[in-house]
Amino acid sequence: MQFPPAPIQRALDTIDRVQQRFKPSAFVVGVIKRYGDDRGSMYAALITFYALLSLFPLLLLFITIASKILGANSEAEQHLVNSALSRFPVIGQQLSDNIHALSRSSWGTYVVSLLFLLWGALGVTSALQMASHQAWRRPRKDEPNIWIRSWRGLRLLAVIGAAVVLTSVAAGIATSSLLRSVPMVVTIMVDVAVVVVNAGAYFLAFRILAPHEAGWKELIFGTMVGAIGWTVIQQIGGLLLSHELRHASQIYGFFGLVLGLIFWLNLGAQLFLYSSEINVVIAQGGWPRSLFDPSDEVKAELGAEG
């Protein structure tokens, strides 16, 4: 017996032909297929793992540095730290409630946090570079050595750090007592500013990761998708998760917190990789594609057998 039955197969073939002729759907299918071919989910999981290792040490050091520079318990410190933590859904409120406990940590804690931060952060940047190398289909001989990879990683970290600081400043301005009389206007301006900052961070990250021959115009569409998508994830994701966990029990809330954080990090990683694949598909013309095309590896195996 044929599977699927002939009528269903004919209907699927018709849908496939239609999606290939309709440019928006053909482009979306091309990006999704390319993401699967390049093992995007595997790299997203790897990025999530290293990001989880580096996130808490990063926030601990940020709070410590802010306390040293601005003065512990000062109003400026409270504004900056609370604004920065508000950009981190799921854990932001919990960390904000324990700022003083974190700032009283010992120097040994800071050293261990710094080591974990470097390990996790460079792990994130290395995974991003491997994913980009795979997405742009660069030959193995062009893979960067450890020094080039580390230098690129430090540049990526600088971009991420600058984006966090700038978005925190924007959020701090929004909560300023001088601007509370026009909350709607301020909210719109802050959201626009955050999108602009995220767009700049995405573009610089794509420019660092992409091969030299990729033009800046080919990176624009993926940059805008990533910047808007990341802003939406920060705004909506945090509200939904916080609402769901607000009335949870202590044990259930703890596991929900951890799972929610992992989900949030993985969602951000997949968004970045999908945005990168958008740039690749635009640059290399990887569409339209059939819904039933085998992956590139299977094609290569079939070609070798033939």
Q: Residue 173 CB: number of other CB atoms within 10 A?
A: 16
CA 207 to centroid of chain Cα atoms:
16
What confidence score (pLDDT) does residue 198 get?
92
Cα atoms in the Cβ-side hemisphere of radius 13 Å centred on 23: 2
- Whether the per-residue pLDDT at 237 is higher than 90: the answer is no
Q: Does the pLDDT at position 38 exceed 70?
A: yes
Q: Is 40 exposed, middle or buried (0-12, 13-18, 19+ CB in 10 A)?
A: buried
Average pLDDT, the chain: 77
Per-residue pLDDT at 300 exceeds 60 = no
pTM: predicted TM-score of the whole model, two decimal places: 0.80
Q: What is the pLDDT of residues 285-296, one digit of tens each?
A: 888 888 887 765
pLDDT of 269 > 80? The answer is yes
Residue whose token pair is 């990887």: 286
Band the pLDDT of 26: cuts 50, 70, 90.
Answer: very high
Contact indicator for 286, 136 with CB cutoff of 8 Å: no
44 neighbors 273 (Cβ within 8 angstroms) = yes
* Separation CA 162–CA 62 (nearest Å): 13
pLDDT in tens, 90-144: 555 555 554 555 555 566 666 777 777 777 888 899 999 999 999 998 888 888 8
Condensed to tens digits (0 to 9), the pLDDT of residues 248-268 reads 545 555 566 677 778 888 999
Task: Identify whether the C-beta of residue 66 lies closer than 8 Å to the C-beta of residue 80.
Answer: yes
Closest to 228 (Cα-Cα) out of 197, 259, 204: 197
CA distances to 25, 73, 155 from 100, in Å: 51, 8, 31
More confident residue, 84 or 187: 187
Neighbours of 85 (CB within 10 A): 21
Whole-number percent of the chain with pLDDT over 70: 64
pLDDT of res. 174? 57
The whole-angstrom separation of Cα 135 and Cα 209 is: 10
| pLDDT at residue number 96 | 52
Are 48 and 262 in contact by the 8 Å Cβ rule? The answer is yes
What per-residue confidence (pLDDT) applies to 302? Answer: 47
Contacts of 125 (CB under 8 A, 6+ apart): 149, 152, 153, 154, 156, 157
| pLDDT at residue 244 tops 60 | no
Q: Average of pLDDT values for 209-224?
A: 91
Angle, nearest 10°, between helix axes 6-21 and 23-37? 110
Given this model, what pLDDT does residue 164 score? 76
Is the pLDDT assigned to residue 87 strictly greater than 60? Answer: no
CA distance 113 to 126: 19
Domain range list for the chain: 37-136+151-284
Higher pLDDT, 41 or 79: 41
Contact assessment for residue 93 and residue 156, using Cβ atoms and an 8 Å cutoff: no
Residue 210 has pLDDT above 80, yes or no: yes
Residue 4: asked if its preceding bond is cis (omega within 30°), the reply is yes
